[in-house]
């Protein structure tokens, strides 16, 4: 398969998650006790990593600095499965630091990357663009898309390679001949303010004018929750609505839209079909928690990962629950059925034998983990079972990232260490009704009392 080539400015995104329990003594601001720091590619790097996660080989033509943050970014791109052609960046690696608590943003701090110099195209970069199935220019206004040799190579490729150009207010106009340019509504209005208004008709007229101004085949103006409007230079217009989303996180939605649009063009779809596919992908991306919740890297061969990917591809809700499930009883069944009713698939996180022994004592479990998993998996309401070895399933939840974490009503949200983990990607905790008098411990006690 020929690769998708992403050209643009790669940034380092650093997500700092923490707990807020007090205000600072010297100012009325919250004090964040840091609990976790996660690093991921940002900017054009995020667009490239998302395309890899779609199952396509991706080459990123970018410029990386030789500093500590640049080393972190290079490692993050490699871990995401992105092949990098580095033009070299003289300056400081740009960073976006997002500070969050319980899945909500408190502050974004931008660092570095304002005064940089990008190296010229080399043979590897030219070869990558010439061999691409499609090219996405993810311009973040920091120099790669403005470098003269880069623009020359893109202009030469435009007649034969589908190019998607995602512009930036600080960046240059697209080169003539791009297949689709994708400004958002604000960016389009800044370049082409007439006609005024933000209704679909005004945006369509603006998009057509931009297509003629830029010499682009089409301009697709993205409108966030309202979808997109695609217009050609000849005046053909298609409005692409978006499905409504409750909650979610829009961070990175533009990169998700542009990368899926470019992938769809690489697969041979027409611009209007590709735009519809891109809107659907961006909507699902926002609903699933945006960039902070995105699963980067090549698609997994694990059957559970494939199950979850299929549910999310259809816009469904992933539910997870957990427990030991030693001596399955009606209370377990009631809880599992109630959990499954909350969404479109149910994954059970099952404590391993070692985990159960630490939690319940040396005499437990009565049933070994493989047999417990087989019994739970056989239930009609259960779609998958995953065994974990820790005392709590926090690490497993970070891998699965369910939309809903369901537990029996004998807990409270404050009792669950998993609650803050799930909140990081916008998930929620649901407490389910508890069937009194039903427990594995009581069954064992009754059996012992009867001498069984």
Active site residue ranges: 255
d(CA 48, CA 199): 32
- Residues forming beta bridges with residue 14, ordered by sequence position: 39, 97
Helix axes 253-266, 44-53, angle to 10 degrees: 50
Q: What is the CA radius of gyration of the chain?
A: 25
78, 58 in Cβ contact below 8 A? no
> Checking phi first, is residue 43 left (phi over 0); if not, alpha (psi -120 to 50) or beta?
left
d(CA 118, CA 93): 12
d(CA 142, CA 70): 15
d(CA 245, CA 101): 22
In the chain the first and final C-alpha atoms are separated, in Å, by: 63
d(CA 277, CA 137): 19
């Amino acid at each position: 398969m020929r690769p998708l080539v992403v050209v643009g400015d790669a940034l380092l995104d650093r997500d700092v998650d923490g707990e807020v329990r007090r205000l600072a003594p010297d100012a009325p601001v919250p004090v964040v006790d840091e609990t976790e720091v996660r690093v991921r590619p940002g900017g054009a790097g995020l667009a490239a990593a998302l395309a890899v996660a779609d199952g396509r080989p991706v080459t990123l033509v970018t410029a990386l600095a030789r500093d500590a943050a640049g080393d972190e970014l290079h490692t993050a791109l490699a871990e995401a499965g992105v092949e990098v052609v580095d033009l070299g960046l003289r300056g400081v690696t740009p960073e976006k630091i997002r500070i969050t608590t319980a899945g909500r943003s408190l502050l974004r701090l931008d660092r570095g990357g304002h005064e940089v110099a990008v190296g010229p195209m080399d043979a590897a970069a030219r070869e990558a663009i010439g061999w691409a199935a499609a090219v996405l220019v993810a311009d973040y206004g920091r120099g790669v898309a403005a470098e003269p040799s880069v623009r020359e190579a893109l202009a030469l490729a435009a007649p034969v390679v589908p190019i998607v150009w995602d512009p930036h207010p600080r960046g240059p106009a697209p080169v003539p001949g791009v297949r689709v340019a994708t400004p958002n509504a604000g960016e389009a209005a800044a370049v082409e303010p007439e006609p005024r208004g933000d209704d679909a008709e005004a945006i369509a007229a603006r998009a057509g004018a931009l297509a003629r101004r830029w010499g682009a085949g089409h301009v697709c103006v993205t409108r966030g929750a309202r979808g997109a409007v695609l217009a050609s230079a000849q005046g053909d217009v298609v409005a692409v609505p978006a499905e409504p989303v409750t909650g979610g996180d829009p961070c990175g939605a533009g990169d998700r839209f542009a990368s899926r649009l470019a992938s769809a063009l690489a697969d041979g779809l027409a611009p209007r079909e590709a735009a519809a596919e891109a809107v659907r992908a961006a909507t699902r991306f926002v609903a699933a928690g945006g960039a902070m919740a995105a699963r980067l890297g090549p698609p997994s061969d694990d059957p559970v990962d494939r199950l979850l990917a299929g549910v999310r591809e259809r816009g469904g809700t992933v539910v997870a629950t957990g427990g030991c499930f030693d001596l399955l009883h009606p209370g377990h069944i009631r809880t599992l059925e109630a959990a499954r009713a909350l969404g479109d698939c149910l994954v059970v996180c099952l404590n391993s034998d070692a985990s159960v022994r630490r939690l319940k004592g040396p005499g437990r479990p009565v049933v070994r983990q493989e047999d417990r998993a087989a019994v739970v998996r056989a239930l009609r309401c259960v779609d998958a079972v995953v065994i974990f070895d820790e005392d709590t399933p926090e690490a497993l939840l970070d891998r699965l990232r369910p939309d809903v974490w369901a537990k029996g009503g004998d807990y409270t949200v404050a009792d669950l260490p998993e609650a803050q983990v799930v909140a990081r990607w916008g998930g929620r905790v649901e407490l389910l009704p508890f069937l009194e008098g039903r427990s594995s411990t009581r069954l064992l006690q009754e059996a012992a009392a009867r001498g069984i």
